[in-house]
Structure 1
């Protein structure tokens, strides 16, 4: 049975993991993605190499957003600039806390 622990929460970005199976969950609004620890690290590194202003576009509602493709090609995240910052900060903090948990294991 999964023992879900919150790693970080920043506004709409909530990242947690299972202490037993090590699955990492990214919860954002009504979307949940599951990652292995390695895939989560790769996804984080991909986001870290993207700049909001280089990737953003104006959506029909007039808001600037960046589109980030998830590991599932049919699902993409869209982030406003503040949501983008929150997600990147949450993922960075979550990785640090994962490392702490790994040292304690």
Structure 2
């Protein structure tokens, strides 16, 4: 029996973050990549990304485009993002983390 009950936190073109209402795990889909996180791991990623300055941390890759490499907390998975992708990614993580915090506050208040 599948007990997963995903609730969409954000959904944009090619980018979706959902949280299971049963186990609280979070699924992050960005383009064609799906990564699962425990809630604390996801919030750590959100906090890390919120402190990143694209201009200070990006690198010129072959082809001449600036790219930013972001570790996901999973040892073999990193995101390589252009400035526009980073802006979308960072904004989405920020929105999702605020929704999680709001849900936690509402849950505390209802108890």
TM-score, length-scaled by structure 2: 0.84
Could you give the per-residue CA deviations for residues 36-80 of structure 1, whole angstroms, max 9, x where no partner exists? 111111111111111101111122232211001121111110111
Take 1:11 and 1:63, find their aligned partners in 2: how far apart are those partners?
22
1:10/1:22 Cα in 2 relative to 1: closer, same or farther (>3 Å)? same
Give 1 or 2 for the bigger CA radius of gyration.
2
Unmatched segments (≥5 aa) in structure 1: none
The answer to whether residue 85 in structure 2 is matched with residue 83 in structure 1 is yes
**Displaced runs of 4+ in structure 1, greater than 3 A?**
none
Counterpart residue number, 1:49: 51
Take 1:5 and 1:50, find their aligned partners in 2: how far apart are those partners?
27
RMSD: 1.6
Unmatched segments (≥5 aa) in structure 2: none
Aligned length: 105
